[in-house]
Each structure stands twice: as structure tokens, then as C-alpha cells.
């Protein structure tokens, strides 16, 4: 078990390699990340940077016949990588649960939403079905689903996108987990519903004292919900720090490039947004040095030779870059 000062989530040198294709794909490459109790950490980065792969590894959702996980994933001191199948089944839902990106695909179309939540409750709790239904109803009320008793008997296709996502949140909270994983939970929703879901997640997190890892490519969403942000690129975390610090003083060239490519309140109408030239590297043939070097205006020859060591700028802000002294000016 954790000591009082230890992080609730402690991921150490996590590497995930997919082996099903012609060449191995190293989708996650030495990720180290800690999350305190009651803290929200957002993982951001371009598509293919390893965010969702990292998240799914925490629940060991990757096919073991086609993937290899190395490193440690400590949740409350327990290494998920070493769990037996029975222990893993008890861990999923009860200790850690997940909100998937597209609830229409995550929910079973042949069962009512209520039956799926009831089944999840009964899997971990020794209570009657009527008690489980009462808890499911309470969850629907908590996530503010209108006409909750009638919605319990609805099938996923009978609900709107926003309603299904609220039902997905109810399912994730059904067994009262301590850690909630959210994999781009607002991507498929329109802007108004996105904001509602983000505010709901933050409210529930504070009310229940949950630790949350929130995956998104939307920096605006990360700012709304996260206490800290970790920026991923080509399977590595290249910068992490408090949300305030990363927004005001990003120190990795990739983080700065991401922020410059977004419109914000100070952006003048008609101003052309900056873009990041080039493309992310091929994960089957990662370069020997910094994976961002080919796209980076500050890159040195040495950047292309060896992977930069992690530089701690303050006790809660780090960046993996040889030239952090060149990135101190405001963006």
C-alpha cells in the first residue's frame, strides 16, 4: 500500500510495444507519471502521441497476444502489470474505471443502459438487484439525466450523444472507483454539450475526491479540468507541470508550438495561426535522438544523436529538451 506521501498513481518507465504487424510499434516509450489523490492530470498531444495507449495500459486493455508492456503501473502501491486475471477483473471498475471516447461503441447495444450499470454494480457489490437498480437511478440523477427512471430502460441508440456520455459516466462511477480514466470523453459532442460534460466531470471529481487522468488533444478542455498537464510526443512525455505554469511558461519547443497554433483571446482577427511543420516520426523507426528534432527550429546536431534527459526547471515543472534556456521568453 502507499505511504501517506506517495502518489496514488505512480507510472514508472512504461513502455508499450505492439507486435502484431510487420514491425514492432513502440507506441509508448519510457513514460513516467505520478498522480496524487484527488488530482486531475491531463495528457495532451497530437493524435498518435501515445496518450490513449498509456491510458488503456493502466487497465491492461491491450491484447496480450499482440502487445508487450514493460515498466511498472502502481495504483495505490499495487502493480497492475503483475496482476492475475482474477485480480485484474476485481481491479477494473472497483479501483479504476474508464470513460471511453465514443459511448455508442462502448455500451452494449442489445442491453438497456440500466441493465449494464446494474450488472457492473452487482459484479463488485453483494447487494440485491433492486438495490443495484436504486443505485443506478441515483447515479442517473447525479449526472443530471432527465426522466432518469425512464432512461434506465432505454437502449443506447435511443439516447442522444450527450445523454449517452452521461450514462457512460454513470457506468464508470457505478462501483465507486478511486481513479477515473477519461479518454477524450467530449470529442464526439457538440461544443455546448462538451462544456456541460467537462463541468460535470470536474464537479463529480471534487465531490467524490477522485484522481483523474484525462486524455485530450484539446488544450482548452485540459485547462478547464486539469490541475497538471503532461505533454506527450512520439510516445514520450516531453513536458509536464501545473496547468498555470504550462500555459504561462511552456519550456519545450513542442509545447510552445502547440500553444501558438491555437486561437485565443489575444489573437487578432485575420491573423494567420502558426503551424507545426512536418509530421510525427514513424513509431516503427524512432530516431536515436529527440523525436521532435526534425520539426524543431531550435534543434542542434546533438539533439538528433541522443534522447535528451529530463530537466527539472522547478520542483513541479520538467521538460525533456537540451535548449530550455532558449525557451524562457513568453510565447
Within a domain: 3: no
Do 238 and 321 touch, CB atoms closer than 8 A? yes
Domain match, 196 and 170 both:
no
* Nearest partner of 151 among 289, 165, 271, judged by Cα: 165
Residue with cell 470513460: 99
Domain match, 64 and 51 both:
yes
* Nearest partner of 310 among 18, 32, 61, judged by Cα: 32
Within a domain: 267: yes
Final residue belonging to a domain, choices 128, 160, 176: 176
Burial of 255 (0-12, 13-18, 19+ CB in 10 A): buried
Within a domain: 253: yes
Within a domain: 331: no
Domain match, 123 and 16 both:
no
Domain match, 61 and 157 both:
no
Distance of CA 237 to the CA centre of its chain: 13
Within a domain: 222: yes
- Cα–Cα distance list, 218 to 46, 56, 185, 298 (Å): 9, 19, 11, 25
Q: 124 lies in which domain range?
A: 107-176
Domain match, 233 and 279 both:
yes
| Paired strand residues for 82 | none
Residue-level pLDDT, tens digit, the chain, 331 residues: 555 568 999 999 999 999 988 899 999 999 999 999 999 999 999 999 999 999 999 999 999 999 999 999 999 999 999 999 999 999 999 999 999 988 888 899 999 999 999 999 999 999 999 999 999 999 999 999 999 999 999 999 999 989 999 999 999 999 999 999 999 988 878 888 888 999 999 999 999 999 999 999 888 889 989 999 999 999 999 999 999 999 999 999 999 999 988 766 555 676 777 788 889 999 999 999 999 999 998 898 999 999 999 999 999 999 999 888 766 655 5
168 CB neighbour count, 10 Å cutoff? 27
Final residue belonging to a domain, choices 143, 176, 209: 176
d(CA 178, CA 175) in angstroms, rounded, equals: 9
Domain match, 243 and 144 both:
no
Domain match, 304 and 258 both:
yes
Return the sign of the alpha-carbon dihedral for residues 69, 290, 292, 221. positive
DSSP state at residue 158: G
87 CB neighbour count, 10 Å cutoff? 12
Question: How many domains does the chain contain in total?
Answer: 2
Domain match, 54 and 142 both:
no
Do 273 and 67 touch, CB atoms closer than 8 A? no
Domain match, 86 and 185 both:
yes
Domain match, 172 and 183 both:
no
d(CA 152, CA 140) in angstroms, rounded, equals: 8
**CATH label of the domain that carries residue 225:** 3.40.50.300
Within a domain: 217: yes
Instruction: Please give the model's pTM, rounded to 2 decimal places.
Output: 0.91
d(CA 274, CA 264) in angstroms, rounded, equals: 13
Within a domain: 2: no
Domain match, 121 and 268 both:
no
Within a domain: 1: no
Domain match, 75 and 132 both:
no
Amino acid at each position: 500500500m502507499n505511504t501517506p506521501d506517495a502518489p496514488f498513481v505512480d507510472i514508472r518507465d512504461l513502455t508499450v510495444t505492439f507486435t502484431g504487424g510487420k514491425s514492432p510499434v513502440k507506441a509508448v516509450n519510457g513514460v513516467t507519471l505520478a498522480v496524487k489523490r484527488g488530482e486531475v492530470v491531463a495528457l495532451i498531444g497530437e493524435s498518435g502521441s501515445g496518450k490513449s495507449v498509456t491510458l488503456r495500459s493502466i487497465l491492461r486493455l491491450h491484447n496480450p497476444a499482440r502487445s508487450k508492456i514493460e515498466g511498472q503501473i502502481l495504483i495505490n502501491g499495487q502493480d497492475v502489470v503483475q496482476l492475475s486475471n482474477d485480480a485484474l477483473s476485481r481491479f477494473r471498475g472497483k479501483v479504476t474505471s474508464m470513460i471511453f471516447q465514443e459511448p455508442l461503441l462502448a455500451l452494449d447495444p442489445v442491453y438497456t443502459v440500466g441493465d449494464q450499470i446494474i450488472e457492473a454494480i452487482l459484479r463488485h457489490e453483494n447487494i440485491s438487484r433492486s438495490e443495484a437498480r436504486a443505485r443506478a437511478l441515483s447515479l442517473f440523477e447525479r449526472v443530471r439525466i432527465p426522466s432518469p427512471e425512464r432512461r434506465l430502460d432505454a437502449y443506447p441508440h435511443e439516447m442522444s450523444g450527450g445523454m449517452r456520455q452521461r450514462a457512460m459516466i454513470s457506468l464508470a462511477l457505478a462501483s465507486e472507483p478511486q481513479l477515473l480514466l477519461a479518454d477524450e470523453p467530449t470529442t464526439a459532442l457538440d461544443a455546448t454539450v462538451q462544456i456541460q460534460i467537462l463541468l460535470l466531470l470536474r464537479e463529480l471529481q471534487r465531490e467524490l475526491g477522485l484522481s483523474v487522468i484525462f486524455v485530450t488533444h484539446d488544450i482548452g478542455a485540459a485547462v478547464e479540468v486539469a490541475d497538471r498537464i503532461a505533454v506527450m510526443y512520439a510516445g514520450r512525455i516531453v513536458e509536464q507541470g501545473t496547468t498555470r505554469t504550462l500555459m504561462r511558461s511552456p519550456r519545450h519547443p513542442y509545447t510552445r508550438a502547440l500553444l501558438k497554433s491555437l486561437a485565443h483571446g489575444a489573437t487578432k482577427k485575420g491573423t494567420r495561426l502558426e503551424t507545426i511543420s512536418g509530421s510525427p516520426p514513424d513509431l516503427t523507426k524512432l530516431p536515436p535522438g529527440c523525436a521532435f528534432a526534425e520539426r524543431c527550429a531550435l534543434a542542434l546536431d546533438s539533439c538528433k544523436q541522443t534522447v535528451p534527459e529530463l530537466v527539472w526547471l522547478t520542483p513541479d515543472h520538467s521538460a525533456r529538451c537540451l535548449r530550455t534556456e532558449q525557451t524562457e521568453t513568453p510565447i
